[in-house]
Chains A and B, each alone.
Chain A
Amino acid sequence: MLKALTHLQIWVEDQDEALAFYTDKLGMEVREDFTNPEAGDFRWLSVGVPGQDVSIALLAVPGPPMVDEETGAQIRAVLAKGMAGGLVFSTDDCKADFEELKSRGVEFAQEPNEGWYGIDAGFRDPSGNQARMAQLNP
C-alpha cells in the first residue's frame, strides 16, 4: 500500500523567482534541481521545510507539448487570480513569523488572525499561490 507522501506540486510563473522566494524568504531548502535537455529542458525543482521529508515541486506553468497554449493560459490565469496553491504550514509563533517574513518582503493576504483554534495568517508566493501558516492550540 501507499507508504508516504513525498512530493506535492504547484505551478509557478518563474522557477528562479520561486526558488528565491521559498528558500531565501521562507527558509526552505532545495531538494532537487535537475534540468533534462532530452525533455525540452524541463526543470524538476523541489524545496522542502528542513527536517521534514515532504517536498514541494515548483514546476513552471506548462505550454506545448505538455499542454496546448490555451490550457497554459488558463493555468496562468487561475494562478494570477489566487486560486491555486493551498499550502499550509505549522508554526510555533505565528505573530513573530509574520513579522519576520513580512520584513523579508513576503506578501501577506491576511495578517495573524486569532480564533478559538489559535492563530493563523495567509500569504502568497510571487506567482499568486496561496499559503497559510497556523499556530494551532494544543
Chain B
Amino acid sequence: MTISAAHPARHLLRAKDLADARFRDPLDVPALARAAHVSPAHFSREFKRAFGETPHQYLLTRRLERAAELLRNTDWTVAEICARVGLSSVGSFTTSFGRAYGQSPTAYRSAHPPLVQAWIPTCLVQAHARPQSSTFREDSRARSR
C-alpha cells in the first residue's frame, strides 16, 4: 500500500483506524506506533497533536463505547463484555466505565434498554457515542510505563 505525498497525520490515522478495527485484541501503544510507522517515543505526542487525545485515551474510550453498546444490546455478563472489548481486568474496566458514564456497567445496562433503531453508518454511530476521555487516570499510568 503506498501513499503519495502523505500528510504526517495520514500515517497516524492508520493507528487510529487500527484501534477502531482491532480494539478486541490485546493492542497497546507500541503496536499502534508500529502501524503509524512512528517511533514509540514520538508516537503519543504526535497522535495527541493530530487528534487531541493520547492513543491510550483513544483506545480506551473506543473500548468503553463498544462495551456500552454491548451492555445495551446483549445479555452478556460484565466480565464477558470486558474480555470482548480487549480489556483483561474487570475491576479496571468497571472503574473506567464509571468515570466515563457516571455509573457502573450494571446500572448503565438497567438505565439503557435496547432502542428501536434506523441504520446509520456504523463508523458515525461509534464516533459519536465514544465517551469523553479527559479524566482517565489510566493515562498517567500509561505514560509512566
By a beta-carbon cutoff of 8 Å, the part of chain A in contact with chain B is 13-14, 17, 76-77, 79-82, 86, 88, 105, 107-111, 113, 115-118, 120, 122, 124, 126-128, 130, 132, 134, 136
Contacts and interface: CB of A to CB of B under 8 A. Distances in A.
A122 B122 contact: yes
B13 A13 contact: no
Interface of B: 1-10, 12-14, 16-17, 20-21, 50-51, 117, 119, 121-123
Given A105-B1, A109-B20, A128-B13, A80 B119 contact: no
B47 to A, nearest CB: 11
A99 to B, nearest CB: 15
B117 to A, nearest CB: 7
Contact of A111 (B7, B21, B121): B21
Contacts of A111: 21
B13 A81 contact: yes
Contacts of B2: 126
Nearest to B16: A82
Contact of B122 (A77, A110, A126): A110
Contacts of A14: 4-5
A120 B117 contact: no
A117 B119 CA distance: 6
A127 B20 CA distance: 18
B1 A107 contact: yes
B4 A76 contact: no
Given A122-B122, A132-B121, A134-B121, A82 B17 contact: yes
A14 B10 CA distance: 14
Contact of A80 (B4, B8, B21, B122): B8
The 4 closest A-B pairs by CB, nearest first: A80-B7, A80-B9, A109-B17, A117-B119
Nearest to B4: A14
A54 B20 CA distance: 30
26 contacts: A13-B5, A13-B6, A17-B4, A76-B7, A77-B7, A77-B9, A79-B10, A80-B8, A80-B13, A81-B9, A82-B13, A82-B16, A86-B121, A107-B14, A109-B21, A110-B20, A110-B21, A110-B123, A115-B122, A116-B117, A118-B119, A124-B13, A124-B17, A126-B2, A132-B122, A134-B119
A13 B16 CA distance: 20
A109 B119 contact: no
Given A132-B122, A136-B119, 16 more contacts: A13-B5, A14-B5, A17-B4, A80-B6, A80-B7, A80-B10, A80-B50, A81-B50, A82-B13, A82-B16, A109-B21, A110-B123, A120-B121, A122-B121, A122-B122, A128-B13
